[in-house]
Structure 1
Amino acid sequence: MTVDIRKIGVTLDEIHHDGGPPRTPPLRVVTAYAVVRNPFAGRYVEDIQYWMADLKPLGLDLADRMIAALGDPEQVEAYGKGAIVGSDGELEHGALWHEPGGWSMRERLGDTKAIVFSAKTIGPIGTRLMIPLGHINAAYVRSHFSAAEIGAYDAPRADEILFGLAMATGGRVNARAGGLGVDAIKGQDGLR
């Protein structure tokens, strides 16, 4: 089975401040999404896992586009993934993005340790999704708990899925809610 891509979008945000002192350099958050035809829309299919292998090149392509927008994979400190399934699909169809989306970013970024946080939903055209972000090497780094928004004005149609990825060059601007600091990461188990 191939992946029928209707459109791809990439967005780069630079956040200079959040009401407090300016951040230098600014926080950069990049998102990329692809809107694809859902081959399982409108019917129940028991065996769907095989489609994950077909989605892997798409995950790599989106990861490459985000890294190109940032300019340097070494700058990436946080990541996340998500999917918006059109109304003729199932939430489980969006779950097929876990491996191709997450592992693609991990492959491109090198030896990351932490899980890639994820969100998925079902919705009509214009649905937006907040992708949760977390530190790439230690899931308990509270300053990097954040989110990046994905969506498209014309997607997903009922028989489509919008698959998205997000990367950021740091944690929240002016983070000061405590918890494990970046300077205390051990990076051994993906948690601390």
Structure 2
Amino acid sequence: MKVRKVITVVEEIHTEGGRAVSPPARVAVVAAVIENPWSGQGFVDDLSEGIDATASDLGALLAPRVLAALDAPAEAYGKAAIVGLDGEIEHGSGLIHTLKFGDHFRKAANATTLLPAVEKRGPSGVAFDIPLKHITDATIRSHHQTVEVRIADAPHPGEIVVALAAAAQGRPQQRLAALSTEQ
């Protein structure tokens, strides 16, 4: 795995809807900009070699960093893979949609649900939204939220941005009824 850089962003929301949020709502994102392991190879029928060589190391790199940046227990989480213009969306999907990658985050966060994800291809500076869901119950609506990310110089055409996001709480000022009220 060739890492060009790692980016950490922490957002604290102090006011929402004109009301104070106490304690401030925290969301952290850690993204690695890596060389696409399939870059320059043309169409690759079997992605398993690149997945085996990259996915677990990438999960091990990102999971502890995003939880350290959050500086609180995670209640919601998500992931992203943004592929540079010379790659395929399947390259990003191959890295993040494997237990080799996701189990690092699930174990570190004491989570049981699948990580919601976004995958797309785009140029450097493309904005992307990482969806977040509750770490143990994806039906808890208060934790359905997104965090927007943009890295000015990534991904280059032969790179992939892989990111993990974690929130210490649900949406600030959430007030939707529980899903069970509609069932």
TM-score (norm 2): 0.90
Q: Is the 8 A contact 2:70 2:166 kept in 1?
A: no
**1:17 offset after TM fit, Å?**
2.0
- 1:10 — aligned with what? 8
* Aligned equivalents of 1:52, 1:22: Cα separation in 2: 44
Give the match for residue 68 of structure 2.
68
Deviation at 1:12, TM superposition (A): 0.7
Calculate the aligned-residue CA RMSD, in Å.
Answer: 1.5
Partner secondary structure for residue 44 of structure 2: coil
**In structure 1, distance between residues paired with 2:97 and 2:127:** 19
Q: CA deviation at 1:113?
A: 1.8
CA–CA separation in structure 2 for the residues paired with 1:180 and 1:16: 27
Structure 2 residue 127 is matched with structure 1 residue 109: no
Per-residue deviation at 1:48? 0.6
CA shift, 1:41, in A, is: 2.5
Equivalent runs, 1:43-54 vs 2, <5 Å: 43-53=42-52, 54=54
Runs of 4+ residues over 3 Å off in structure 1? none
Q: How far off its partner does 1:47 sit?
A: 0.9
Question: Are the aligned partners of 2:38 and 2:50 in contact in 1 as well (CA < 8 Å)?
Answer: no
Task: Name the % identity.
Answer: 39
Counterparts of 1:143-154 in structure 2 under 5 Å? 143-154=142-153
Q: Structure 1 stretches of 5 or more lacking a match?
A: 182-192
Aligned to 1:25: 23
SS of the counterpart of 2:57?
helix
Q: What is the one-letter code of the residue matched to 1:151?
A: R
TM (norm. structure 1) is 0.86
SS in 2 for 1:108: helix
Distance in 2 (alpha carbons) for counterparts of 1:39 and 1:63: 20
Higher strand content, 1 or 2: 2
Distance 1:128 1:148 in 2: 10
Who is 2:138 aligned against? Answer: 139
The alignment covers a number of residue pairs equal to 176
